[in-house]
A and B are shown apart, each in its own frame.
Chain A
Amino acid sequence: MTETVWGAVAQGIVMTIQLTVAGFAIGAVLGVPILALRMSPLASLRWSARAFIEVTRGVPMIVWLFLIYNGPTQFDPALGSVFTSWVSAVAAFGLVSAAYMAEIYRGSLRAIKQGQYEASRALGMSSVDTATRVIGPQMIRVAVPASATYAIGLLKDSSLASTIGVFEITYYANTVASTSSSATPYFVAGAYYVALTLPSAWGARRLEARLRRGVAR
Chain B
Amino acid sequence: MTNLGTGNPAIRLENVEKSFGDHVVLQNVSLSVGAGQVFALIGPSGAGKSTLLRCINLLERPTSGSITVDGVTIQTDHTIKPKELAALRSRVGMVFQSFNLFPHMTVLRNIALPQQRVLGRSRADAEDRAHALLGRVGLADKASQYPARCSGGQQQRIAIARALALDPKVMLFDEPTSALDPELGLEVLTVMRELADEGMTMVVVTHEMQFARDVSDHLVVMSDGGILEEGDPHDIFSGPRHARTRQFLRAVVDRQ
A residues apposed to B, CB below 8 Å: 113, 115-116, 118-126, 129, 133-134, 137-138, 141, 213-217
Pick the contact of A123 from B98, B146, B148, B163 — CB < 8 Å?
A: B163
8 Å CB interface, B83-139 against A: 86, 89-90, 92-94, 96, 98-106, 113-114, 117-118
Pick the contact of B89 from A116, A123, A133, A213 — CB < 8 Å?
A: A123
Please tell me if the beta carbons of B104 and A215 are within 8 angstroms of each other in the complex: yes
B54 to chain A minimum Cβ distance, whole angstroms, is 8
- 28 CB contacts below 8 A, A to B, read A113-B98, A115-B100, A116-B100, A118-B59, A118-B96, A119-B102, A121-B59, A122-B59, A122-B93, A122-B94, A122-B163, A123-B89, A123-B114, A123-B118, A123-B162, A123-B166, A124-B89, A124-B90, A124-B118, A125-B117, A129-B117, A134-B102, A137-B104, A138-B102, A138-B104, A214-B105, A214-B148, A217-B148
A119 to chain B minimum Cβ distance, whole angstroms, is 4
Please tell me if the beta carbons of B117 and A126 are within 8 angstroms of each other in the complex: yes
Give the most central of B90, B106, B118, B159: most A CB within 10 Å: B118
Interface size class of B (residues with CB under 8 A): 20 to 34
Considering the chains assembled together, what is the distance between the CA atoms of A216 and B146 in angstroms?
9
Please tell me if the beta carbons of A125 and B106 are within 8 angstroms of each other in the complex: no
Please tell me if the beta carbons of A125 and B96 are within 8 angstroms of each other in the complex: no
Residues of A within 8 A of B100 (CB): 113, 115-116, 118-119
Give the most central of A120, A124, A213: most B CB within 10 Å: A124
Please tell me if the beta carbons of B106 and A214 are within 8 angstroms of each other in the complex: yes
Pick the contact of A116 from B102, B106, B113, B117 — CB < 8 Å?
A: B102
Considering the chains assembled together, what is the distance between the CA atoms of A118 and B94 in angstroms?
10
Considering the chains assembled together, what is the distance between the CA atoms of A143 and B181 in angstroms?
33
Considering the chains assembled together, what is the distance between the CA atoms of A138 and B102 in angstroms?
9
Considering the chains assembled together, what is the distance between the CA atoms of A122 and B117 in angstroms?
13
- List 14 additional A-B contacts (Cβ < 8 Å) besides A116-B100, A119-B101, A119-B159: A113-B100, A115-B99, A115-B100, A119-B100, A122-B93, A122-B94, A123-B162, A124-B89, A125-B114, A133-B113, A134-B102, A214-B104, A214-B146, A215-B146
Please tell me if the beta carbons of A124 and B86 are within 8 angstroms of each other in the complex: yes
Considering the chains assembled together, what is the distance between the CA atoms of A121 and B105 in angstroms?
17
Residues of A within 8 A of B117 (CB): 125-126, 129, 133
B206 interface residue (CB < 8 Å to A): no
Pick the contact of A124 from B96, B99, B166 — CB < 8 Å?
A: B166
Residues of B within 8 A of A141 (CB): 104
B154 interface residue (CB < 8 Å to A): no
